[in-house]
Structure 1
Amino acid sequence: MDVIELLPRLHLLRFPVGQAYLWSDDAELTLIDAGTSGHGRAIADAVAGLGRAPQDVRRVVLTHFHEDHVGAAGEFAALSGAEVLAHALDAPFVRGELPGPPPLFEEWELPIHAEAARQLPDGPPLP
C-alpha cells in the first residue's frame, strides 16, 4: 500500500484495488473508506508510519457499500476502536445483512471492472 501526502492534513492510502483517505483534525483522525478485506493491519501500520496511533482514528466514514470501500472497515475498527459510519441505506449491505445490488456498468466500464474484480481477494470478507 502506498501512502501519499496530498495536503498536510490529508493522506491518500492507495491499495492494489481502491483507495482510502486519512484526514487529520489536530488530535483526531478520520479514515474515509477502508479498502478491501485484509487491509486493516496495513491501515494501522500506515497510521503508525505517520507518527500517530491507530487509536487516534476516531471514525471510519464509508462513502458507499462496495467491497473496495468497506472491506477492511470492521477489521480496522477492531484494531483501533474507531466508530464506523455509513449511510442508513448502505448499512445493511455494510453489515452483511443483505447483498448489495449489482452495479450497472456502461460498456466501456466492463473491462475495468473485470480487472479490478480479478484483483480482489477470494472468499468472504474477514471479520
Structure 2
Amino acid sequence: MDLVEVLPNRLHMLRFPIGQAYLWQDGGALTLVDAGNAESAPAIEGAIRSLGLFPERLERIVLTHCHRDHVGAAGELAARRGARVLAHRLDAPVIRGERPVPEPVLLDWEIPLYAHGLTVPEAQSVP
C-alpha cells in the first residue's frame, strides 16, 4: 500500500493495489473515508502509525458506498478501535451483512481486476 500526502498534516490517501481510502486528521481525531478490502485493517493501522499517529484515535469511518473494496475492513477497525461507522441508510444492511453485496457494473477492463483482486468480506459487525 502506498501512502500519499494530499494536504500536509491533514489528509493522506492510502492507495491499495485496487482502490484507495483517505485518512483525515482533525486535531487529535482521525477519520477514515472508506476502508479497503477485508484484509486491509493491519495495513491501515500500520499507515496510521507510520505517520506518527495512533490508531486508537480513529473515531469515524465514513463509507462512500457498499462495494467490498470500500467497506472490507470497516467492521474490524470499528470493533478494534471503537470507531463509529457512517454510511448511507440504504447501504447499511449490506455493510452489516443483512443483504448481499450488489455486484458492480464493470467495464471489460475492470472484470479481471474484480475477479482476481478482491476478497469478499465476512458479515460486518457495525455499531
- Counterpart of 2:5? 5
2:103 corresponds to which letter in structure 1? P
**C-alpha RMSD over aligned residues:** 1.7
- Counterpart of 1:82? 83
The whole-number CA distance in structure 2 between the counterparts of 1:69 and 1:31 is 11
2:91 corresponds to which letter in structure 1? D
1:117 corresponds to which letter in structure 2? A
- Counterpart of 1:44? 45
The whole-number CA distance in structure 2 between the counterparts of 1:71 and 1:119 is 13
Contact kept in structure 1, 2:37 and 2:121, CA below 8 Å: no
The whole-number CA distance in structure 1 between the counterparts of 2:18 and 2:36 is 7
TM-score, normalized by length of structure 2? 0.88
Q: Which runs of 5+ in 1 are unaligned?
A: none
The whole-number CA distance in structure 1 between the counterparts of 2:80 and 2:121 is 19
Q: Which runs of 5+ in 2 are unaligned?
A: none
Q: Secondary structure at the match of 1:21?
A: strand
The alignment of Structure 1 onto Structure 2 pairs a total of residues equal to: 123
**1:74-127 Cα distance to aligned partner (Å, 9 max, x none):** 11122222111111110000111001333234xxx1221332331113x65386
**Runs of 4+ deviating beyond 4 Å:** none
Query: What are the residue-to-residue correspondences of 1:67-106 with 2, within 5 Å?
Result: 67-105=68-106
- Percent identity among equivalent residues? 54
1:31 corresponds to which letter in structure 2? L
1:111 corresponds to which letter in structure 2? W
The whole-number CA distance in structure 1 between the counterparts of 2:111 and 2:105 is 11
